[in-house]
Chains A and B, each alone.
Chain A
Amino acid sequence: MSRQQHREELIKFLRSIQRRDSAIKEVDDSQSLVESGLIDSLAALQIVSYLEEAYKIDFGDNAIDPGDLRTVGTILDIIERVTTS
């Protein structure tokens, strides 16, 4: 799967967990998801669960910084790093 395909899947997932008061339409890869109010900090946990299920990422083994879940770009970096290693 290419980065673009991963991105589309991720945006689809983010739409399913978005805050009720801020719909995700366009999101920049470097835009902070929590700070811009698109998702709340609790949703970061759901991103962890999503990445575990969809990409079999083991966060316990890979010591991933929760801060790396802050933007679409950094989440895609994690996916690439783990799927290519």
Chain B
Amino acid sequence: MTPTTLRDAYRSISQLHENEKLAAWLQSKRAIVWLTPRRRRQILFFGALLGGTIALFRRQSQWRDHLSATSWLAPALALPILLALVYLLYLAAIHFSRLPAAVRRRPQIALHLVFWLIIALAWITPEEAGVWKTAIFLIAVSIPYLIWRCGYMLLSGQRGKAAGTAFRDHLFYIWPMWGGTNTPQGKGADYLTQCEAQSPAAYARSVLAGIKLLILARIWDLTKLLMGVLVFSNPKSPLAPSLGGYSLEIPRARTLLTNEIPASLLMTWLSLYLEFIWETLDIAEDSHFWIGLLRLFGFNVFRNTYKPLLAKSIVDFWNRYYYYFKELLVEFFFFPTYVRYFRAWPKLRMFAAVFAAAFLGNIYYHSLRASGIAAGELPKIWVSLGRPRAGYCFLLAVGIYISMLRQQKKRGTGAQSQAGAALPRRLIQIAGVWTFFSVIHIWNLKSPATLFDRVGFFLSLFGF
């Protein structure tokens, strides 16, 4: 087998979704023809109702320790209240121009205020309220999952694009039947509609692209399992017995952070880089699964993770690593800050927008996720705000700002080609990105180590 044959074979597998013969065969299948956009949306709508109900029962079970009364009645009460809330927000989106001026000017702030009021209600409702207290609590713990999706719906209303849409056009992404993280993968109605396959041919291509991502998700899952055994020597891995005990035995970075295992400087650096690769694979695996499912339903949206390890700048990496989280921060924090403040000072304007998104927005998003918010455990909320992740967000914001300034300087100086930039130069750029994200990940590792412990660990990497 020649290298050319191998390359062609690889291309035909990796470009499976662009295989014309396969797409033509698939588009003639009865299921593809029957699943029109309308029918697909109906399935997703009823799936959302079912998924939402199951999720509320699961949440009651997860938060059992915080609840004095649990009963099947609590999720049954919480579900219609949550649906009514989402429906009211839908009405606000489609009649956006009729909302009070203050809400029209700052709809996202108004939305977050409403949700914080519900959280406050969960705090002040007495234990004696029994099942009602549990129902309000379940609504409050569902908020971090729903708030950004509802935010996209309001944004659509603000841009005048929600008028004429039906409730089912929104509920399916606000409460996707397959769950997912708090980050809306596929954003909201505007973007999803723009990417929706309208013909059997386009749907067949979307399905193939979805299958490709689901296969990739399995591959990254297997790679992680192999890495767990061969690199990190994880004895609990299901692959451990079949790999004969062979392992590089690189310690996990979080164990080095707390000095559980002594390691040489070289081993510490190696551990950080490998941790970074592992995290990237982890994000890619999960998000390929969510995006793969969206594509199977005909929404041929961008991948969440697209070859981030080949990024040549910090901004480029951030764009490729977790696209929909970046988009969330850009649409809800970066862009509103950029268009409103410091217009006369371009550098300050960009600095403020980057910090609003990568630092403040990032911290706020993760604070909402913190356990204990709905339970009113104020010390936990305080800890979540001041936890080491703040250091990560700060360094990320600084890195992105510098990277953006560097890109801006490079741009617009003519069209001399850099496409053929020498391989060593590209490798140095990629290595720079890996090093930056491996190092700032120190402040993002799950560990009891404090912010300052992590600063000490960081300095130790340079021999201090």
> Which residues of A approach B to under 8 Å, CB–CB?
16-23, 40-43, 45-46, 48-49, 52, 58-60, 63-67
Tell me which of B50-58, B120-128, B339-347 binds A: B339-347
A-B contact pairs, 11 of them (CB 8 A): A20-B415, A21-B415, A21-B418, A42-B315, A42-B404, A46-B408, A60-B339, A63-B155, A65-B190, A66-B330, A66-B335
CB of B5 within 8 Å of the partner chain: no
Known pairs A21-B417, A21-B419, A22-B415; list 16 more (Cβ under 8 Å): A17-B411, A18-B411, A20-B415, A20-B417, A20-B418, A23-B415, A41-B319, A42-B315, A42-B408, A43-B411, A58-B339, A63-B155, A63-B159, A65-B155, A66-B335, A67-B190
Nearest 4 Cβ contacts at the A-B interface: A23-B415, A59-B339, A63-B158, A60-B340
Q: How far is the CB of A37 from chain B (nearest CB, A)?
A: 10
In the complex, what distance in Å separates the CA atom of A58 from the CA atom of B340? 8
User: Which B residues contact A (CB, under 8 angstroms)?
Assistant: 155, 158-159, 161, 190-191, 194, 315, 319, 330-331, 335-336, 338-340, 343, 346, 350, 404, 407-408, 410-419
Q: Determine if B190 and A20 form an interchain contact, defined as CB atoms under 8 angstroms apart.
A: no
Tell me the nearest residue of chain A to B326, going by C-beta: A41
Determine whether the beta carbon of B412 is less than 8 Å from that of A17.
yes
Residues of B within 8 A of A19 (CB): 411
Separation of A65 and B330 alpha carbons in the complex (Å): 11
CB distance from B397 to the nearest CB of A (A): 15
Q: Say yes or no: B346 contacts A49, CB within 8 Å.
A: yes
B419 to chain A: which residues have CB within 8 Å?
A: 21-22
A37: nearest chain-B partner, CB-CB: B419
Contacts of B350 in A (CB 8 A): 45
A47: min CB distance to chain B, Å? 12
Closest Cβ–Cβ distance, residue B411 to chain A (whole Å): 6
Q: Give A64 to B340 CA distance when docked, in angstroms.
A: 12
How far is it, in angstroms, between the C-alpha of A39 and the C-alpha of B18 when the chains are bound? 25
* Cβ contact within 8 Å between B412 and A18: yes
Query: Given A20-B417, A49-B346, does the pair A64, B159 have CB atoms closer than 8 Å?
Result: yes
Interface centre among A22, A40, A64 (most CB of B within 10 A): A40
Q: Contact check, B414 vs A20: say whether CB atoms are below 8 A apart.
A: yes
| Complex alpha-carbon distance, A18 and B343, angstroms | 22
With a CB–CB cut-off of 8 A, which chain A residues contact B159? 63-65
Closest Cβ neighbor of A65 among chain B residues: B159
Q: Say whether A40 contacts B407, CB under 8 Å.
A: yes
With a cutoff of 8 Å between Cβ atoms, the chain A residues found around residue B412 in the complex are 16-18
Give the interface centre of B159, B191, B404 by most chain A CB atoms within 10 Å.
B159
Whose C-beta in chain B lies nearest to the C-beta of A70? B194
Report A-chain residues with C-beta under 8 Å of the C-beta of B155. Answer: 63, 65
Contact between chains at A20 and B410 (CB < 8 Å) = yes
Q: What is the distance, in angstroms, from B59's C-beta to the closest C-beta of chain A?
A: 33
Chain A residues with CB below 8 A from B346, complex form: 49
Taking CB atoms, residues of chain B closer than 8 Å to A65 are 155, 159, 161, 190
Complex: how many Å from CA A59 to CA B159? Answer: 11
Name the B residues within 8 Å of A43 (CB-CB).
411
Contacts of A21 in B (CB 8 A): 415, 417-419
The answer for the CA separation of A43 and B410 in the assembled complex, in Å, is: 12
Using CB atoms, name the residue of chain B closest to A81: B160
| B336 x A60 contact (CB < 8 A) | yes
CB neighbours (8 Å) of A63 from chain B are: 155, 158-159
Task: State which of A20, A41, A45, A67 has its C-beta within 8 Å of the C-beta of B191.
Answer: A67
